[in-house]
Amino acid sequence: MRRPALLLVLPLLLTAGCATPVADPPVGTPRSPSPRGEAFDKRAAEVAEAWRPDPAWSTGYVPLEGPTVLTGDPRFNSDTKVAFEAGWYRAEVAIPPTRVGGEIRFPDGRLTLPLVSAAEAYRQLDQGDPLPCPGRPKRPGLPSPGGPRVEPGPDGWATSATQTACLSLTVTAVTFGAVPVRTSRGTAQVPAWLFTIEELATPVARLAIAPTAVTPVPQPSAPARPLADGLVGAQNLTAVDDVRLTVGLGVGACDTAITPLVWERPDVVVVGGSVTRATGECPAVLKLAPVAVTLAAPLGARPVLDVATGAPLSIAPR
């Protein structure tokens, strides 16, 4: 099995922030009498003007979320969440190698594309066995193979509730279906292989579209100058619900007064935020602060662009 590559990016560390959502003013009204609000509006307009996607954006398949999709609330615990994020699986059923036909159903039409077999989808999904976890069990309640010898107590093996077991998610069935996916053409029903997981409440879907048929997200285009002081960019979308967007802003560890900002027109939406910078010493850490914005009209197929980079935002893996 393949093992995942671990990428460490320093000095920026993405962690969950706890920003309090701030109501966004209606479109067309002044953001703020301050230069910061004016700077956001001006840059957002420049980002929107620079947005020039190729024809495939409106005619092809450009997914705006990852190829692994949860089909509902999986009811994660600490162990299964780690396993899902790491891609640790083991199959207790045969995974069929046969391919099937299918098509993507967009709000504005349909598109037939080559698909991968369930076996290939599983190979893409499975990222190898759990990595060695010193002092932690391979399965809850059992000592780690090759680890230090530990004798059971009077009530059997005991583990700390704060530790995470090195376990794999168990695939017990696989079926073919379709799942909703946000794309450049709005939310589409996309063919997928649905893997029933013993440890989770809902199946894990792996999109069945062949990688060669996926059109990549266009390269961003934004003003060359840096953001004005006190403005921050958006890192991703975590949810889209009609006129409400949940956005992850990249903020400093000591930033306060985190405020989401949105600028929209009929064909595009630009998001970002403003913060109050801390005075004095502060760790050089980038936090991901979730905030919510409300649009003047349903998002539909409009791209959501980051005010800092001009990049279209994708829905982050859950």
pTM of the prediction? 0.72
pLDDT over 90 (residue 71): yes
Rounded distance, CA 232 to CA 39, Å? 12
Rounded distance, CA 18 to CA 210, Å? 38
pLDDT of residue 4: 40
Quote the strand ranges of 77-199, DSSP E: 89-91, 103-106, 109-112, 169-183, 186-197
Average pLDDT, the chain: 81
Rounded distance, CA 213 to CA 79, Å? 34
pLDDT over 80 (residue 21): no
Q: Are strands 268-276 and 231-232 parallel, antiparallel or unpaired?
A: antiparallel
- 3-state SS class at 262: strand
Cβ 180 vs Cβ 63: under 8 Å: no
The tokens describing 62, both together, are 């450009």
pLDDT of residue 248: 95
Per-domain boundaries in the chain: 15-52+218-306, 62-138+162-213
The single residue listed with the structure tokens 């391979």 is: 138
Q: Predicted confidence band at 145 (pLDDT cuts at 50, 70, 90)?
A: very low
Rounded distance, CA 131 to CA 128, Å? 8
pLDDT per residue as tens digits for the range 103-127? 999 999 999 999 999 999 999 999 9
Which residues are bridge partners to 246 per DSSP?
239, 292
Q: Which residue has the higher pLDDT, 31 or 306?
A: 306
Most confident stretch, 9-13, 23-27, 95-99, 180-184: 180-184
pLDDT of residue 111: 96
Cβ 264 vs Cβ 31: under 8 Å: no
Residues 296-317 have a mean pLDDT of 90
Cβ 228 vs Cβ 199: under 8 Å: no
pLDDT per residue as tens digits for the range 232-262? 999 999 888 889 999 999 999 999 999 999 9
Q: Predicted confidence band at 224 (pLDDT cuts at 50, 70, 90)?
A: confident
Rounded distance, CA 173 to CA 95, Å? 8
Percentage with pLDDT > 90 across the chain: 62
Ranges 91-95, 117-121, 127-131, 132-136: which has the least confidence: 132-136
The single residue listed with the structure tokens 């850490």 is: 285
Most confident stretch, 120-129, 161-170, 275-284: 120-129
pLDDT of residue 88: 94
Cβ 39 vs Cβ 256: under 8 Å: no
Cβ 2 vs Cβ 272: under 8 Å: no
Q: Which residue has the higher pLDDT, 133 or 67?
A: 67
Closest by alpha carbon to 263, among 271, 253, 255? 271
Q: Predicted confidence band at 6 (pLDDT cuts at 50, 70, 90)?
A: very low
Q: Predicted confidence band at 35 (pLDDT cuts at 50, 70, 90)?
A: low
Closest by alpha carbon to 311, among 33, 6, 51? 51
pLDDT over 60 (residue 148): no
Q: Which residue has the higher pLDDT, 298 or 27?
A: 298
* Correct CATH for 62-138+162-213 of 2.30.320, 2.60.40, 2.40.128, 1.10.10: 2.40.128
DSSP-derived secondary structure letter, 24: P
Cβ 232 vs Cβ 259: under 8 Å: no
Give kind and range of the element (H or E) at residue 46. helix 35-50
Cβ 95 vs Cβ 206: under 8 Å: no
The tokens describing 202, both together, are 């809902």
Cβ 83 vs Cβ 166: under 8 Å: no
Rounded distance, CA 114 to CA 268, Å? 30
pLDDT of residue 104: 97
Cβ 95 vs Cβ 119: under 8 Å: yes
